[in-house]
Structure 1
Amino acid sequence: MAALPLQEVTVTQLKGVGQALADRLARLGIHHLQDLLLHLPLRYEDRTRISPLGSLRVGSTAVIEGEVVNSHLGQGRRRSLLVRLRDATGSVGLRFFHFSASMKQQLQPGLRLRCYGEARPGASGLEFYHPEFQVLRDDLPPPPLEQQLTPVYPVTEGLQQKRLRQLVAQALDFLEQRPLDELLPASLLDQTHLQGLRSWSVNQALRYLHYPDCQADLEALAAGQHPAQKRLALEELLAQQLGMLLLRQKTREESAPPLTKSAGLLEQQLREGLPFALTGAQERVLAEINRDLTDPHPMLRLVQGDVGSGKTLVAALAALKALANGYQAALMAPTELLAEQHYHNLTAWLQPLGIQVDWLAGKMKGKQRQTALEQLALGETQLLVGTHALFQEEVVFSRLALVIIDEQHRFGVHQRLALRNKGGSEGLLPHQLVMTATPIPRTLAMSAYADLDVSVIDELPPGRKPVTTLALPDSRRPEVIARLRHACQEGRQAYWVCPLIEESEVLECQAAEVTCQELQEALPELKVALVHGRMKPADKGRIMQAFKEGEYQLLVATTVIEVGVDVPNASLMIIDNAERLGLAQLHQLRGRVGRGSTASFCTLIYHPPLSSQGRERLQAMRESSDGFYIAQKDLEIRGPGELLGTRQTGEIELRLANLKRDAHLLEGLRPLGERLLEEQPLLARQLLARWRGDSLRFSQV
């Protein structure tokens, strides 16, 4: 019988792997030998040479040898055993906080030791904390040094590095007998910028990355720039593209209601009631959406638009098309504050046209909730606005044809799937329109959203004034307060944003409650209000509405006002401890001002000294108000995971590739992926199985 390929050989076939160890490996996503081979090291240790003690520097990790000169108990804050080690070039301390009486007895003067660890500054000079050590005996030759770099793997509780290295070594023996298939098309490696990778097969790359030779370029490996890493990253990125394209293909095979009837008169009435005309970008994106909605397959379109570019109005016009065809639409937002604001805007635009708009939130109870659910199920409610409360089982639509999701990266995969499955009894899926004010850099969109059509509203409405951004140390707070007083006395309004509600010694952030009190004392002539995330939604909404109507001149808030708040008269945004916030969040907050005709300002107050990341963020904010520039910078500084919120959504699960580092490898992968799915579907499936495993289970989202 032919030997099974490694993707089908379970880890229990390895020596010493019983069910308990297999369960631990499963926690790391390792079920088969191929998974184990693709579980690559995080970093490497160089144990191939002995470093003279005199050459050590703070932070250097090294193998050292020497003779114990003395050992004694240190009685500082924590009792420790300090052993002094010396060679011909100098001496270091070995400090142990956990030690036994026998270990203390063993480490006596005259003993020769070989140790491995990191040199740190200590009370006695350079010290190694809890180094690995072995005793060198005079009557035996010293043990040989490693011939290759030592890999350090991601591990889980109950699984030690040493055990995992042994298992990988066994898997590499299997690889010798049953090499993995070469799945990268030659045409891809023939591309100019990838020709340097042609000499690396998948098997060579895996062997090298598990055990690089002692001449390996550690810096290149640490930076993910070694050709062996790039060769595997390229294969993984192609698999990721294939996964996204397959999701798209599956969606195209589903059925959705074709919305062929024009919204005609309703749309005309809505446009005539607006005090402004749509921008060219809004018209272009609306045309793309309308074209998709006439299709008998579900639309999956992402609309990106900077803060204030008019995404909600485009969504309202798209909803009109669903309603004109006799269907319902739903709009979902991540917070009650934002959902309520959408509800008020949509009601103001659509109620005069005779359209019933309703809303549903977690806080709605009793009769009010029951009535809303009944009207929805009967089809009387044409457009429902809400938070994640729309996912709940008892929320039943009569004929849902369009789902609009605002700030989609804040929702998990399961949540989006639950809403998508509310398409009604006709076996049709609703169209999906996803909106985000977090612009996504092209490289990220090419990869993370390859299953979506992307539209960009890249034009702000006429009359929007650019916002001038300043960054000032907190020592200049009195100047900021004086400027604030002057602006409010001239009839304008301002926000003062604090990241936390209560005092925190660790973050040193000004608490909103304390700041509000301080500002009331410093500015007794102004009416000051406070909103934060722990307030009841009704109280929050009431204060926000009062601020919008001009009852308060200054609103002190936490970042709950980050999205969706629209007060045209507010022209000054002050962000306390701005260095604590991410770029995308800072940009969203800045977008709350500059909505009227007055010149607007955003002042970023920071607490020096700034970290290099903090400096980069504030510099980017001063340089540009272009959301795409900000997003690209955010990607460079933080990487893709945080930008997309993928910790909760599970959209980017890459083992080796890194979208920030490997963006240059993405060029040409999408058309190649489309060709492979069409011409070599078996190869495409093999690539997917190797890198994505069962992660395509969310393929309907």
Structure 2
Amino acid sequence: MTARPLQEVPVTELKGVGQALAERLAKLGIVSLQDLLLHLPLRYEDRTQVSSLGSLRVGSTAVVEGEIVSSEVSQGRRRSLLVRIRDGTGLLGLRFFHFSAAMKRQLEPGKRLRCYGEARPGATGLEIYHPEFRVLRDDLPPPPLEQQLTPVYPVTEGLQQNRIRQLLEQALQALQTQPPEELLPTSLLQAAAFQHLMNWSLTEALQYLHHPPVEADLAELAEGRHPAQRRLALEELFTQQLGMLLLRQKSRERAAHPLIGQATALENQLIQSLPFQLTSAQERVLREINADLTQPHPMLRLVQGDVGSGKTLVAALACLKALASGYQAAMMAPTELLAEQHYQNLAAWLQPLGIQVDWLAGKMKGKQREGALQRLAEGETQLLVGTHALFQSEVVFARLGLVVIDEQHRFGVHQRLALRDKGQAGECLPHQLIMTATPIPRTLAMSAYADLDVSVIDELPPGRQPVTTLALPDSRRPEVIARVRKACLEGRQAYWVCTLIEESEVLECQAAEVTWQELQEALPELKIALVHGRMKPAEKAQIMADFKAGLSQLLVATTVIEVGVDVPNASLMIIDNAERLGLAQLHQLRGRVGRGSTASYCTLIYHPPLSQQGRERLQAMRESSDGFVIAQKDLEIRGPGELLGTRQTGEVELRIANLKRDAFLLEGLKPCAVQLLQQNPLQARHLLARWRGDKLRFAQV
């Protein structure tokens, strides 16, 4: 192999790698030698010593040797070959469910075996199922034991452990002959927090992790706490910071129309028409947004605010700035129900000011749709609200200046790109405001969102009531129904949310219909409404409007009501099968109550027994109503991959670092990354090529 950077050497240059094997490796993300070296073991096995049979315990994984004392086919529930071995200290069963006649001949009484596997309780005492084994010959010395711990790698179908170990031996030889350049800035490694990693070069860290010595601390390696692992995690997280900063730099190089129109009169009119005052947090975030909108490059700002903190109003005031400057604004929401809620709120606030607000959904057809599209293209519509229907090709804006995206993690990167590109006028892009009621833990904000400016509405409007949360097993369902009856007869309203473990809208809707019928029978004195995702938008909107107006007392719903529903008189939220939902979703649903002046309650009904995760989630809900505390707990329970999803950021997956485990490594990375980009952009590019490859293509979002 020629002396090239390891990321440029394809695995097909390794001995024994043909097209079929290359395709299997590609499934694991392994295309180059560098990918192979960064494919770290999941765990390690100690095959460096022989354990006596008498020392084995349930769960012991060990190398053992012994003489075969019996070998017979057992005809139990599953036909198996049971081989019994002994040494001077005890007996052990070896059980094979897949075996051939040749294998049976190989394992005859009197022969000596060396085996490796995990001891577990079996029908004859301790047994190892399908051990790795070799027959020892009396005329030859026993084969040497391993001198190092044996790595166990993630594999895919058709790729055996031995094969990937052989390939890694070749890659590690290449690593010795052409070690990769050390690219981490010395100033970073000299920082107090990272000095213990200074002695580890990239080459040494990789060598150690693929071949740890016998005395290595297996617990430390299993938990990702070894300095060699942290050295790699640090470089990966640092590179991620570089990528995000570069992304930000690129977006700042693009042009946008500065929105400098005077919206003060309209803003004042809107604020004075409201029955409440803006909180100081809303005012602060508005100042940050307005400062961005006057710049000649596109705003990229994420506004986080807990459920009910008033993000929609902040977005409305930002839209006024665009309209006063002669541009159109668009607001996109992930569901028709939420989009319609936004439309109703925005129309109620802005139409009295003489602003034309329109709405567009996928299910709009015929003349209604044609009319909306024509008004938009001619510039008559100033603010368009809708779902992902907004980025269909026939939707043409006359002059789009600001895009507001609500709950942006529910939209794919390509969808957001499509909407942004609609506003491209010559070289100019529209400004983007992203809103989420799912608070993002600081760790994720420092990494996955490092390209965005982040504003936080960390204050709830005055008068919002704290919500008391209870968790009850489903055996106490009659008590919950009695409580709903009492609250509704006292003039309050309640939600009853049905969840299903299957990701099926049809089944979820059926479950809601069954619950609705049951509750109608149990509570004949109440007016009970039903809303779910398979109803027509107009029907859903009417049911929600009736509930808001107090025409129904109890609303049975699927999780379609998770965001955007605002009924101040609703003070009781029942969530059925609450253990099936994630923390963020539970918190969103709980945020539908506590919006009026009455004490509010959220009851989480669960079906025992709860899993460990289920218990932790319900406990977190009982203990806190702070969205940021909940989000941090969600990160701890589920980990960042699931919390973010690649949909949220495009390509944020990490190979080695773990945001949950390695959060402390993020401190201080950003200033050092800024410095490297300024002083040595070529070194920064090399780091990005090593860790991110072509994955910066999402940088435009």
How would you bin the TM-score normalised by the shorter chain? over 0.9
Q: Return closer, same or farther for 1:605/1:508 CA change in 2, 3 Å cut-off.
A: farther
Cα contact 1:45–1:150 (8 A) shared by 2:
yes
Q: Which amino acid aligns with 1:119?
A: A
Q: Return closer, same or farther for 1:399/1:200 CA change in 2, 3 Å cut-off.
A: same
> Secondary structure in 2 aligned to 1:568?
coil
User: What's the counterpart of residue 132 of structure 1?
Assistant: 132
Taking the aligned partners of 1:92 and 1:394, their CA distance within structure 2 comes to 72
Q: Return closer, same or farther for 1:391/1:78 CA change in 2, 3 Å cut-off.
A: farther
Q: Return closer, same or farther for 1:616/1:501 CA change in 2, 3 Å cut-off.
A: closer
User: What's the counterpart of residue 217 of structure 1?
Assistant: 217
Q: Counterparts of 1:522-561 in structure 2 under 5 Å?
A: 522-561=522-561
User: What's the counterpart of residue 106 of structure 1?
Assistant: 106
Q: Which amino acid aligns with 2:174?
A: F
User: What's the counterpart of residue 519 of structure 1?
Assistant: 519
Taking the aligned partners of 1:92 and 1:369, their CA distance within structure 2 comes to 75
> Secondary structure in 1 aligned to 2:422?
coil
Runs of 4+ in 1 over 4 A off after TM superposition: 501-504, 507-510
Q: Counterparts of 1:84-95 in structure 2 under 5 Å?
A: 84-95=84-95
Q: Which amino acid aligns with 2:620?
A: A
2:499 is aligned with 1:499: yes
User: What's the counterpart of residue 262 of structure 2?
Assistant: 262
Report how far residue 414 of structure 1 moved: 1.3
Report how far residue 159 of structure 1 moved: 2.4
Report how far residue 188 of structure 1 moved: 1.2
Q: Which amino acid aligns with 2:354?
A: G
2:429 is aligned with 1:426: no
Cα contact 1:328–1:402 (8 A) shared by 2:
yes
User: What's the counterpart of residue 8 of structure 1?
Assistant: 8
User: What's the counterpart of residue 458 of structure 1?
Assistant: 458
Q: Return closer, same or farther for 1:2/1:519 CA change in 2, 3 Å cut-off.
A: closer
Cα contact 1:303–1:434 (8 A) shared by 2:
yes
> Secondary structure in 1 aligned to 2:50?
coil
> Secondary structure in 2 aligned to 1:677?
helix
Q: Counterparts of 1:321-336 in structure 2 under 5 Å?
A: 321-336=321-336
Cα contact 1:501–1:558 (8 A) shared by 2:
no
Report how far residue 447 of structure 1 moved: 0.7
Per-residue Cα deviation, 1:123-145 (whole angstroms, up to 9, x for no partner): 33333222222222222222222
Taking the aligned partners of 2:314 and 2:378, their CA distance within structure 1 comes to 27
Structure 1, unaligned stretches of length 5 or more?
A: none
Per-residue Cα deviation, 1:245-291 (whole angstroms, up to 9, x for no partner): 00000000000010011212221221121111111000000110000
Q: Counterparts of 1:430-441 in structure 2 under 5 Å?
A: 430-441=430-441
Taking the aligned partners of 1:52 and 1:510, their CA distance within structure 2 comes to 59
User: What's the counterpart of residue 589 of structure 1?
Assistant: 589
Cα contact 2:498–2:508 (8 A) shared by 1:
no
User: What's the counterpart of residue 667 of structure 1?
Assistant: 667
Taking the aligned partners of 2:508 and 2:547, their CA distance within structure 1 comes to 28
Report how far residue 306 of structure 1 moved: 0.0
User: What's the counterpart of residue 50 of structure 2?
Assistant: 50
User: What's the counterpart of residue 580 of structure 1?
Assistant: 580
Per-residue Cα deviation, 1:457-488 (whole angstroms, up to 9, x for no partner): 00000000000111222222222222111111
Per-residue Cα deviation, 1:540-574 (whole angstroms, up to 9, x for no partner): 33322222222221122222211111111110011
TM-score (norm 2): 0.96
2:413 is aligned with 1:404: no
User: What's the counterpart of residue 691 of structure 2?
Assistant: 691
Report how far residue 330 of structure 1 moved: 0.9
Taking the aligned partners of 2:546 and 2:332, their CA distance within structure 1 comes to 25
RMSD: 2.2
Q: Return closer, same or farther for 1:645/1:502 CA change in 2, 3 Å cut-off.
A: closer
Taking the aligned partners of 1:560 and 1:59, their CA distance within structure 2 comes to 46
Cα contact 2:448–2:649 (8 A) shared by 1:
no
> Secondary structure in 1 aligned to 2:700?
coil
Per-residue Cα deviation, 1:92-141 (whole angstroms, up to 9, x for no partner): 33222222232233322223222222233333333322222222222222
Report how far residue 508 of structure 1 moved: 13
Cα contact 2:501–2:580 (8 A) shared by 1:
no
Instruction: Choose 582-591 or 649-658, whichever is displaced more.
Output: 649-658
Taking the aligned partners of 1:412 and 1:584, their CA distance within structure 2 comes to 19
Q: Which amino acid aligns with 1:623?
A: E
Taking the aligned partners of 2:458 and 2:66, their CA distance within structure 1 comes to 66
2:468 is aligned with 1:468: yes
User: What's the counterpart of residue 149 of structure 2?
Assistant: 149
Taking the aligned partners of 2:501 and 2:683, their CA distance within structure 1 comes to 54
Cα contact 1:407–1:435 (8 A) shared by 2:
yes
Cα contact 1:248–1:451 (8 A) shared by 2:
yes
User: What's the counterpart of residue 416 of structure 1?
Assistant: 416
Q: Return closer, same or farther for 1:621/1:137 CA change in 2, 3 Å cut-off.
A: same
Taking the aligned partners of 1:434 and 1:658, their CA distance within structure 2 comes to 26
Cα contact 1:509–1:577 (8 A) shared by 2:
no
User: What's the counterpart of residue 37 of structure 2?
Assistant: 37
Cα contact 2:185–2:676 (8 A) shared by 1:
no
Q: Counterparts of 1:551-700 in structure 2 under 5 Å?
A: 551-646=551-646, 649-700=649-700
Taking the aligned partners of 1:182 and 1:474, their CA distance within structure 2 comes to 58
Report how far residue 661 of structure 1 moved: 0.5
Taking the aligned partners of 1:498 and 1:120, their CA distance within structure 2 comes to 42
2:97 is aligned with 1:97: yes
User: What's the counterpart of residue 481 of structure 1?
Assistant: 481
Report how far residue 52 of structure 1 moved: 2.6
Cα contact 1:37–1:171 (8 A) shared by 2:
yes
Q: Counterparts of 1:49-448 in structure 2 under 5 Å?
A: 49-448=49-448
Q: Return closer, same or farther for 1:54/1:592 CA change in 2, 3 Å cut-off.
A: farther
Q: Which amino acid aligns with 2:605?
A: I
Per-residue Cα deviation, 1:381-424 (whole angstroms, up to 9, x for no partner): 11111111122222211111111111111111111111111114
Taking the aligned partners of 2:51 and 2:479, their CA distance within structure 1 comes to 56
TM-score (norm 1): 0.96
Report how far residue 452 of structure 1 moved: 0.4
Taking the aligned partners of 2:503 and 2:521, their CA distance within structure 1 comes to 19
Aligned pair count? Answer: 699
> Secondary structure in 1 aligned to 2:8?
coil
Q: Which amino acid aligns with 2:355?
A: I
Q: Return closer, same or farther for 1:554/1:501 CA change in 2, 3 Å cut-off.
A: farther
Q: Which amino acid aligns with 1:562?
A: E
Cα contact 1:398–1:424 (8 A) shared by 2:
no
Q: Which amino acid aligns with 2:493?
A: Q
Report how far residue 501 of structure 1 moved: 8.5
Taking the aligned partners of 1:411 and 1:219, their CA distance within structure 2 comes to 40
Taking the aligned partners of 1:374 and 1:132, their CA distance within structure 2 comes to 72
Q: Return closer, same or farther for 1:527/1:128 CA change in 2, 3 Å cut-off.
A: farther
Taking the aligned partners of 2:501 and 2:163, their CA distance within structure 1 comes to 46
> Secondary structure in 1 aligned to 2:256?
coil
Cα contact 1:569–1:595 (8 A) shared by 2:
yes
Report how far residue 510 of structure 1 moved: 11
User: What's the counterpart of residue 20 of structure 2?
Assistant: 20
Q: Which amino acid aligns with 1:656?
A: I
Instruction: Choose 332-341 or 286-295, whichever is displaced more.
Output: 332-341
Per-residue Cα deviation, 1:164-206 (whole angstroms, up to 9, x for no partner): 1111110110111111111111211122221111111111000
Q: Return closer, same or farther for 1:93/1:650 CA change in 2, 3 Å cut-off.
A: farther
Cα contact 2:500–2:508 (8 A) shared by 1:
no
Cα contact 1:501–1:512 (8 A) shared by 2:
no
Q: Return closer, same or farther for 1:92/1:607 CA change in 2, 3 Å cut-off.
A: farther
Cα contact 2:509–2:534 (8 A) shared by 1:
no
Instruction: Choose 556-565 or 70-79, whichever is displaced more.
Output: 70-79
Report how far residue 32 of structure 1 moved: 2.2
> Secondary structure in 2 aligned to 1:426?
coil
> Secondary structure in 2 aligned to 1:7?
helix
Q: Which amino acid aligns with 2:328?
A: Q
Cα contact 2:327–2:400 (8 A) shared by 1:
yes
Report how far residue 509 of structure 1 moved: 13
Q: Return closer, same or farther for 1:88/1:582 CA change in 2, 3 Å cut-off.
A: farther
Structure 2, unaligned stretches of length 5 or more?
A: none
